[in-house]
Each structure stands twice: as C-alpha cells, then as structure tokens.
Chain A
Amino acid sequence: MGAKNKDLVKFADLLVKGTEGLFTERSELKFTKSTEKIFGTIVEYQGKMQADGMEKFNNEAAYVSAVNYYLSGADMAKKKAIGALIVYIPQDYMAKIMKHLKYPAVDDENENALLDSCGTLCNILAGRFKSEIASGGYIELEMSHFKTYRNNAVPGVDFCASEYDSYTINFYLEGAKRMVFDMSMGIVPARK
C-alpha cells in the first residue's frame, strides 16, 4: 500500500468550493440538491484510472474531460501525475450548461463543438481547483491540458501511483444530476 493522502477530503471540499463559486459568479443556476461527495476506490486498468461517462448517468451518453496535476514542471514532462480531475457532463446538457455559464451558443448537433465545450469547462473548473489548492496552503501545482472523450475515456487517465482512493462528486442542477467529477490526489506538500 502506498502513502495515503489523508487530506483527500480537504481537496474534495476545495473542489466543491471552487465549482460552486464558479456557478454562483457566472450563472443564475442554483444547485437543486446538496452536492454529494462519495468516497471510493480508483478503478484501475493497466495502470490508468478508468473513466466511464455513461455509467455516471444511467447509461445516457456523456462527454468526459480530464486533466492531470503535477508537483513540478519536471514531473509534468515525465508524466508523473500527482492527481487527476475528470469531469462528466450528460450529452443532452452540454450545450445548456455552457449557455448558463454565458458562453456563445454551442450547436448541440456538432460533436466537435460539444467535445470542445466539455474541455473548455473542464479547463476552467480544473484551473479554479488549482487556485483553491494554492489558497488552501499547498504548493502550486502544474496542470496539464485537458483531454476530451465521448462516453468513455478509453485510454484511461493517469493518476498518482501511490493512491488508491478517490472522490466522486455529484452536482444537481435544474432538478437532476447534471455534472459529476472523479478526483484523486496524492500527497501535496504544504507551502513553506
């Protein structure tokens, strides 16, 4: 067993704070049910974290976008991830969520535009999470560019090799589960 990150729940709280802050600042949407944070175990296959979007929304089609975090630029170059954030949005809500966040209209029949939207949203959420982590007293992490998929991140997502735990976070908007995150994070040193 590797070094377990005892602060994982704190990271989950920082992620929820950053995300809810974005929606409060940027949209008129209200969360219609309390956000659920579910502690779990990483589902691993061939050294990667599995990311199945359809499983998150009762087999509905979904877009999936993921970023990795690194302790340093050198770790980023070596692809030695300290953490991962995976964002899942149901296909039929992708264009709507961007509209609520005041982005230009997205053609909801254009697959590339929807993939681009999911990546754009993931990038903003991941950036806010990165800022919240730094504000929470930890060192500044490096963040990868996003990768985006439809339904399932087939190649899997890198994660910290010593970590087994993750949080799944469910956000409810307009009366239904509209956005889900999987988040895992290894031990991030405190800032000196």
Chain B
Amino acid sequence: MTNPTGGEKILVVDDSDLERELLIEVLKGAGVQNEFLQARTGEEAIEMLGTRYKEIGLILLDWQMPQMSGMEFMEAVMKVPPVASKMIVMITASGTDENKKKAKGVNPNLAGYVVKPYTPESLLDSIRSHVKLKS
C-alpha cells in the first residue's frame, strides 16, 4: 500500500463544498502539510485518479454522494491495480458497525472510517500515520 507521508497529495471527494472546506481547514489547522486535491463527485475523482494517480497518496471519501456513492467509487477503484492500493478513509454520516463491515468488505485495506461530524482529533487520529505533519 502506498503511503503519503513523503508529501503525496490528499484527494478529498465530497459533493458538499462545505464539508470539503471543513475537512481541509481542520487538517491544515492540525498541521497537515500535504497538498490537497478536491473532487465533487465519484466520477470526477476517478477522472482525476486516471491522470494523477502517481501524485495521490490518500483519498478522503464521502459515502453519501449523488450518482456514484463512495462505496461505488471504492468498488470501481478496487478493480484497477495501479489505484487499488491507494489508502482510502471513508467519511460518513452514519457510523454503524454494519456500514463499517460493508466498507471493509469492499476494501479490506480501508485505512479508516470517520463519522461526521468529527472532531479534529478523531479525524487526525484516523489518518495520522498517512500524512506529513508539521514537526
């Protein structure tokens, strides 16, 4: 599995402008130094991965999105060997164990599962080992 601690970019996939903004603000505020890329839909994220997959080390993925959901995005990504190894953290409004199991079922290497609304600490804890932090 790739690891973006060396400064690879973090791709944030969420249809809500506000959620993307909050996520990036929280992570930058916590000292994360990686550069961020943003996609509003699963389709846009796949397009971005198609051309820039080498730059991207971590994907922060919203579950509930119109058209292609986060789960459908993950299913699609898992079929493509060069991007299947990308670290993905699922971010969702519903934190039941069954949902976690479903996500793990699709992607056994799922790097994290964060429930909205998250605290800066809980978000950072789930990705700490995958990002470049200000020392």
Contact = CB atoms under 8 A, between A and B. Distances in A.
Interface of A: 22, 25-26, 98, 101-104, 106, 112-113, 116-117, 119-120, 123-124, 126-128, 130-131, 134-135, 140, 143-146
A134 B98 contact: yes
B129 interface: no
Given A127-B93, A131-B95, A140-B98, A117 B64 contact: no
A123 B99 contact: no
16 contacts: A101-B117, A103-B22, A104-B21, A104-B25, A106-B18, A119-B16, A120-B18, A123-B93, A124-B117, A126-B93, A127-B95, A127-B115, A128-B94, A135-B96, A140-B99, A143-B64
Contacts of B115: 127
A120 B16 contact: yes
Interface in B85-113: 92-96, 98-99
Interface string B46-70: 0000000000000000001110010
A127 B25 CA distance: 23
Interface residues of B, number: 22
Interface in B116-134: 116-117
B116 A124 contact: yes
A130 B92 CA distance: 12
Given A103-B22, A104-B25, A117-B18, 14 more contacts: A22-B117, A25-B117, A26-B117, A101-B117, A106-B18, A112-B17, A116-B16, A120-B16, A123-B64, A127-B93, A130-B93, A143-B64, A143-B93, A146-B64
A61 to B, nearest CB: 20
B95 A104 contact: no
B12 to A, nearest CB: 14
A113 B64 contact: no
A43 B134 CA distance: 55
Contacts of B18: 98, 103-104, 106, 113, 116-117, 120
Given A123-B64, A145-B65, A145-B66, A116 B17 contact: yes
Contact of A123 (B16, B96, B98): B16
